[in-house]
Structure 1
Amino acid sequence: MTETQRKVSLLVCLVTIVLAVLDMQIVSAATVPIVTDLDPRHGLATIPWLVSAFSLASAAMLPLYGRLCDALGAKQVFVGALGAFLAGSALCGAAPSLGWLIASRAVQGVGAGGLMSVTMVVIAQLKGPGEKKNKGAGTGGIVAGGGMAVGPWLGGFLADHASWRWAFYLNLPLGIAALAAAVVVLKLPRHTTRHAIDYPGAALAAAFSTTLLLVTEWGGKQYAWASPQILGLALASAAALGLFLHRQFTAAEPILPPALFRVPELRLGFAIQGLIGAAMTGAMYYVLVYLQVARGIASSSAGLFLIPMAAGIMAVGLVTGRLAERGWSERTFTISGACTGTVAFLLLATTGTHTSLWQLRAVLLLVGIALGQLLGQLIQLVQQAAPRHQLGVATTAARFFQTLGTALGAALFGTLINRLYDGPGDVGSLAALRGAAHAQGVTAYVSALDTVFLCGAGVMLLCLLLALRLPKGGPVRETEPARETVAV
């Protein structure tokens, strides 16, 4: 590829990351207008499926996408994932009913799982001749983090000032342009030596992740933690995990090779990615809840408070890119980001019912500075340490562990806040309280929320301890078998 083709291809990748991340976040802020429009009488009961269909389908496909990249080539898988995402977006925008919309969100999630993971594999292969480090990987992580922060605000804005359908239709012109550019410009190796794909292993991974996500999303909300539904899903998740692990140790070419975990950078990188997913849940979701519950700020306005976080992610990402060119290592950035994140969460834990909103914005900027050092650098660390013929599996595994960490963090933090809340009624009835009872409830809720942020600081401290164990010499790629490839 020429230098111009590389730049165009990188732009295509960044656009697709933005589309996938925005659609992951944007609907959460527009759920009420959607159900009011499509099913005003019974729609509220289906909101959990509307939100989770996308994430369930996305997480279930991640392990398979990585193996397909290594077996077939990243371009073919990337184009297929983008096509599925655009088809799902068109179906969502035209949905005449909630059932149609939920099914379309699942189709969209299948494609988005590839855009959030395969895109990083494509970016890794765009490194130009003579480049020691892949600049695009850090940029992709920065763009993803910025999209996560801006998504809720954009969803609230479209819900308030336009039709919710535009949240899906906006994907089409940008996505079609990116698809056409990828087909014409992108030229990556395609493997001519066919390798078996562990479809049973992929199915078991999908079953495990799906049941685990349902446990975390439904537990303590739709059903009690001790209910037959949650206990049954937990048992199914544990059984699927056991069968999956057995399959990985016995399959000829497993979907997630156990040998990857013998590489220190990969083993520690996957763990840190999972912990970051849990911490990001606390930083983003519960700050928005605090603003709406304790300060009475509308959802669309509350989303604006995440802009400082997005600014911190993107600004620091640009700085780390320059420092990386001067020899700074991924290990250094990971340690620094974990330290900054620990301090940021400790400051969030001091939030009160009358804390200055400008002080909160400043703390969120600090959270963004921490994430800006972590998101892209960890992906680069994983990609540099992975054997070249397992680049796709390693990259998507990092995203897979982050997804599981996000789900587990949301469940644990949600359970903790429900247990710690000692105000009138329960957390779910807080919005209906009035007068002195409401003030008492808000005080109790903020006190419980501070404990959640303290737990977030503990999570980031654990990230720091793991980062300190990363080898100082930098990752050394394992030797790998030669594979016959052709450019397509």
Structure 2
Amino acid sequence: MTETQRKIGLLACLVTIVLAVLDMQIVSAATVPIVRDLDPEHGIARIPWLISAFSLASAAMLPLYGRLCDVLGPRHVFLGALGTFLAGSALCGAAPSIGWLIASRALQGIGAGGLMSVTMVVIAHLGRPGEKKNKGAGTGGIVAGGGMAVGPWLGGFLADHASWRWAFYINLPLGIAALVAAVYALRLPRHTTSRAIDFPGAALAAAFSTTLLLVTEWGGRQYAWASPRILGLALVSAASLALFLRRQFTTAEPILPPALFRVPELRLGFAIQALVGIAMTGAMYYVLVYLQLVRGVASSSAGLFLIPMAVGMTVVGVAAGRLSDRGWSERTFTISGSAVTAAAFLLLAATGTHTSLWQLRAALLLLGLGFGQLLGQLVQLVQQAAPRPQLGVATTAIRFFQTLGGALGASLFGTLLNRLYDGPGDVGSLAALRGPARTEGLTAYVSALDTVFLCVAGVMTLSLLLALRLPRTRPVAAEGSRETVAA
């Protein structure tokens, strides 16, 4: 690839990351206009599926995408994922009913799973020959985090000032431009490895992740934890995991090779990324709930409070290159990022019902500085240590563990919050309370929420301890096989 092709390819990758991450967040702010337009009588009951269909399909495809990258080459898989995402976006925008929209969101999620993982594999190949550190991977992580912060605000803006359909149509011109640029620019290496794909293993991984996400999404909300539906899903999830692990140790070409976990950087990197997923769930969701429920901030305006977090990530992205030149390694960034993020959650744990909103913005800025050091650098850490023929599997695995961590975090913290709340009624009835009962309820809610933030600080302290165990020297990834250039 020429230098111009590398730059065009990197720009196309960054655009697709933004599109995929925005679509995870943007719809949550447009649910009311969607229901009002498509099904004002019964649509509200199906809204959870509108959000879950995207995340379930995305998570289920991640292990398969990694293996497809290593077998077919990342270029072909990237183009296929982007095309699928754009087709789903067009169908979502044209949806005449909620059912159509949910099915189209699932199709969109299948493509988005590749955009949020395969794209990082493509970026790993865009480094210049002889370059020790691919700065594009760090940039991709920062862009993903920034998209998560800006998504709710953009969704609210489009819902208030345009049709909700533009939340999907906006993907088409940008996505088509990225697709054309990728076809022109990307000329990526492909390893001469076995072409076998463990489809049964991929199906078991999809079954495990889908049922686990459904348990964490429904448990304690739509159904009681001890209900037959939740217990049945949990049993299927456990059985799928057991069968998946058994197959990975017995099949010749596993979808997630157990040998990867023998590499300390990979083993620890996967664990830390899962903890980061847990923490990001706590930051994104509960801060927005606090602003809307306790402080009375409108939903479209609450998303603006996440902008300091995006600014913090951008600052890290700008400074990371200079810090790397001064000797900061991925290990250093991971240690520093974990410590800064833990400190930010300790600051959030001191939040009260009348805490200055500027203190909240400062905590979110600190969170951005912490997450910015973790998101991109963990990807680079894994890619540096992964055997080159398994680069796709290793890269998608780190995204897979973040997704599972986020789901578990949402479930655990939601359950903890409900258990700790000791005010009138329950958490779900807070919005209907009035007078002294509301004051008492909000005080009890904030007290419980502070404990949740304290627990998240503990999670990031565990991340810090794991980061300190990372080896100080960076291994050289084994080539494993000869590379050939694929058009």
Q: State TM-score, norm by structure 1.
A: 0.99
- Cα contact 1:21–1:144 (8 A) shared by 2: yes
Partner of residue 54, structure 1: 54
Q: Residue by residue, what CA displacement relative to the aligned partner does 1:62-88 show, whole Å, maximum 9, x if unpaired?
A: 000000000110000000000000000
Partner of residue 394, structure 1: 394
Q: Residue by residue, what CA displacement relative to the aligned partner does 1:324-360 show, whole Å, maximum 9, x if unpaired?
A: 1333100001000111011100000000000000110
1:181 Cα deviation from its structure 2 partner? 0.9
Aligned to 1:30, the other structure's residue is in SS state helix
Partner of residue 364, structure 2: 364
Aligned to 2:223, the other structure's residue is in SS state coil
Partner of residue 318, structure 2: 318
Partner of residue 428, structure 1: 428
Aligned to 2:197, the other structure's residue is in SS state coil
Q: Residue by residue, what CA displacement relative to the aligned partner does 1:352-379 show, whole Å, maximum 9, x if unpaired?
A: 0000001100110000000011110000
Q: Return closer, same or farther for 1:475/1:191 CA change in 2, 3 Å cut-off.
A: closer
1:185 Cα deviation from its structure 2 partner? 1.3
Distance between the aligned counterparts of 2:475 and 2:374, measured in 1? 16
Question: In the alignment, residue 430 of structure 1 is paired with which amino acid?
Answer: L
1:484 Cα deviation from its structure 2 partner? 5.0
Q: Residue by residue, what CA displacement relative to the aligned partner does 1:135-169 show, whole Å, maximum 9, x if unpaired?
A: 10000000000000000111111111111100000
- Cα contact 1:312–1:365 (8 A) shared by 2: yes
* 1:417 lines up with 2:417 in the alignment: yes
Q: Superposed, which structure 2 residues align to 1:63-462 within 5 Å?
A: 63-191=63-191, 194-462=194-462
1:184 Cα deviation from its structure 2 partner? 1.4
- Cα contact 1:38–1:96 (8 A) shared by 2: yes
- Cα contact 2:187–2:485 (8 A) shared by 1: no
Q: Percent identity?
A: 83
Distance between the aligned counterparts of 1:230 and 1:222, measured in 2? 10
Distance between the aligned counterparts of 1:226 and 1:35, measured in 2? 31
Q: Which runs of 4+ in 1 moved over 3 A?
A: 190-194
1:191 Cα deviation from its structure 2 partner? 4.6
Q: Return closer, same or farther for 1:235/1:52 CA change in 2, 3 Å cut-off.
A: same
1:195 Cα deviation from its structure 2 partner? 1.7
1:475 Cα deviation from its structure 2 partner? 3.2
Distance between the aligned counterparts of 1:327 and 1:425, measured in 2? 55
Distance between the aligned counterparts of 1:475 and 1:366, measured in 2? 31
Partner of residue 472, structure 2: 472
Distance between the aligned counterparts of 1:192 and 1:263, measured in 2? 23
Question: In the alignment, residue 486 of structure 1 is paired with which amino acid?
Answer: V
Question: In the alignment, residue 176 of structure 1 is paired with which amino acid?
Answer: I
- Cα contact 2:386–2:394 (8 A) shared by 1: yes
Q: Superposed, which structure 2 residues align to 1:9-28 within 5 Å?
A: 9-28=9-28
1:314 Cα deviation from its structure 2 partner? 1.0
The two structures, once aligned, show a CA RMSD in angstroms of 0.9
Distance between the aligned counterparts of 1:30 and 1:425, measured in 2? 29
More deviation in 320-329 or 108-117?
320-329
Question: In the alignment, residue 346 of structure 2 is paired with which amino acid?
Answer: L
Q: Residue by residue, what CA displacement relative to the aligned partner does 1:362-414 show, whole Å, maximum 9, x if unpaired?
A: 11000000001111000000000000000000000000000000000000000
Q: Which runs of 5+ in 2 are unaligned?
A: none
Question: In the alignment, residue 397 of structure 1 is paired with which amino acid?
Answer: A
Q: Return closer, same or farther for 1:241/1:193 CA change in 2, 3 Å cut-off.
A: closer
Partner of residue 481, structure 1: 480
- Cα contact 1:138–1:321 (8 A) shared by 2: no
Distance between the aligned counterparts of 1:339 and 1:481, measured in 2? 36
- Cα contact 1:381–1:475 (8 A) shared by 2: no
Q: Residue by residue, what CA displacement relative to the aligned partner does 1:298-336 show, whole Å, maximum 9, x if unpaired?
A: 111000000000000111121112211333100001000
Aligned to 1:383, the other structure's residue is in SS state helix
Q: Which runs of 5+ in 1 are unaligned?
A: none
Distance between the aligned counterparts of 1:63 and 1:433, measured in 2? 46
1:119 Cα deviation from its structure 2 partner? 0.1
Number of residue equivalences: 487
1:192 Cα deviation from its structure 2 partner? 5.6
- Cα contact 1:29–1:300 (8 A) shared by 2: yes
Aligned to 1:446, the other structure's residue is in SS state helix
More deviation in 52-61 or 314-323?
314-323
Distance between the aligned counterparts of 2:402 and 2:422, measured in 1? 32
Aligned to 2:485, the other structure's residue is in SS state strand
Distance between the aligned counterparts of 1:153 and 1:164, measured in 2? 13
Question: In the alignment, residue 124 of structure 2 is paired with which amino acid?
Answer: A
Question: In the alignment, residue 276 of structure 1 is paired with which amino acid?
Answer: V
Q: Residue by residue, what CA displacement relative to the aligned partner does 1:107-140 show, whole Å, maximum 9, x if unpaired?
A: 0000000000000000000010221100100000
Distance between the aligned counterparts of 2:11 and 2:479, measured in 1? 30
Distance between the aligned counterparts of 1:480 and 1:310, measured in 2? 36
Q: Residue by residue, what CA displacement relative to the aligned partner does 1:435-454 show, whole Å, maximum 9, x if unpaired?
A: 11111111111011000000
Aligned to 1:485, the other structure's residue is in SS state strand
- Cα contact 1:138–1:317 (8 A) shared by 2: yes
